[in-house]
């Protein structure tokens, strides 16, 4: 279990990084399943805070950045470690190459890398050794609707402890997100 002091530290860190961003931009809901040797379902929700930057502008395209803060629930069969669920808290800065949203479709590609803290270090047949992991993802999707308010996205995400623990099995996820921009 994650200690109370570690949870407090994580919450303070998440709020600090979110506060550095300019404005609450979006809420997303995700569903995914692990890839490879695990069978873990994942359900989550994220909020994003847009940094309000437009780098490398090329016509209607630009590189933007945002901070994502999220929580997800993982569920699987108990497996070797007799644990079938955990909760994951994450904070991830993200770079997104995107078309300016308007009427019609506005595609984008993104990549991000951040930190995650889980309530358990084991699930199914995976022993992560630590309740702390690094997460990285690549993804793509499209914004649509009036002013690009809606968003559909696919992500491939890898989580591991980067060998700072004795064990580092890692886990990969295929994730599908549905989002709403404010």
Provide the domain count of the chain.
Answer: 1
CATH number at residue 102: 2.40.160.20
By C-alpha distance, which of 16, 111, 8 is closest to 69?
Answer: 16
* pLDDT tens digits along 3-42: 444 455 444 454 444 444 468 999 999 999 999 888 999 9
Rounded CA separation 55/51 (Å): 11
What number of CA atoms fall less than 13 Å from residue 21's CA on the CB side? 24
pLDDT tens, residue order, the chain (182 aa): 444 444 554 444 544 444 444 689 999 999 999 998 889 999 999 999 999 999 999 999 999 999 999 999 999 988 888 889 999 999 999 999 999 998 789 999 999 999 999 999 999 888 888 999 999 999 999 999 999 999 999 999 999 999 998 888 899 999 999 999 99
Q: What whole-number distance in Å separates Cα of residue 56 and Cα of residue 69?
A: 25
- C-alpha of 48 from chain center: 10
Q: For residue 171, what are its two tokens?
A: 């886990």
> Model pTM?
0.85
Phi, psi of 33 (to 5 degrees): -140, 145
* pLDDT at position 12: 47
Residue-number span of the structural domain to which 58 is assigned: 4-181
């Amino acid at each position: 279990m994650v200690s109370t002091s570690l949870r407090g530290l994580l919450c303070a860190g998440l709020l600090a990084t979110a506060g550095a961003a300019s404005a609450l931009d979006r809420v997303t809901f995700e569903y995914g399943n692990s890839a490879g040797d695990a069978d873990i379902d994942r359900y989550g929700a994220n909020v994003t805070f847009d940094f309000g930057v437009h780098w490398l502008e090329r016509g209607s395209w630009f590189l933007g950045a945002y901070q994502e803060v999220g929580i997800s629930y993982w569920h699987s069969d108990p497996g070797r470690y007799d644990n079938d669920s955990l909760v994951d808290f994450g904070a991830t800065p993200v770079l997104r190459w995107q078309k300016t949203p308007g009427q019609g479709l506005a595609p984008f590609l993104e990549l991000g890398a951040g930190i995650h803290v889980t309530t358990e270090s084991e699930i199914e047949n995976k022993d992560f050794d630590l309740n702390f992991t690094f997460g990285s993802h690549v993804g793509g999707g499209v914004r649509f609707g009036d002013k690009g308010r809606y968003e559909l996205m696919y992500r491939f995400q890898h989580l591991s402890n980067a060998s700072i623990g004795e064990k580092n099995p890692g886990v990969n996820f295929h994730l599908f997100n549905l989002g709403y921009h404010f």
